[in-house]
Amino acid sequence: MLGQQYHIAVAGLAGLSGDITLSIDGGTPTPLQLDELRFVPGTHLKFRLASARDRIAIIESSSILVHWTALTTNVILPNSTEITLDRYAADQKRFYRVVVP
């Protein structure tokens, strides 16, 4: 993680030595794209999420923006994945967010 210091030790088996290569790919996170948001009161909330690579996304809901409840966990495919939240659409004054672990 950025800003953390790590200590790495490498010891050869039975005193053997050699060259060691360490590669770390922290890379820039791939953003998710929200598209085609449709809300039909009393029936469903539907939207599409897209990412440049497979990602896990947790859809959460809250009524006061303080306490969040996980509704569903999805694998977002490279093209796009359609998410439908049927039973939650009837709730009044709901906030939704997508969390990527």
3-state secondary structure of 14: helix
Q: pLDDT tens, 71-89?
A: 889 888 777 888 888 765 5
Phi, psi angle pair for 14, to nearest 5°:
55, 35
Residue burial 20-35, b: 16+ Cβ < 10 Å; e: rest: eeeeeeeeeeeebeee
What is the pLDDT averaged over residues 16-26? 69
3-state secondary structure of 70: strand
Assigned token pair, 101: 């672990």
Which domains can be identified in the chain, with CATH numbers?
A: 29-99 (2.60.40.1920)
Task: Report yes or no: 47 and 87 within 8 Å, Cβ to Cβ.
Answer: no
Q: What is the pTM of this model?
A: 0.62
Higher-confidence residue of 85 and 19: namely 85
C-alpha 63: how far from chain center:
21
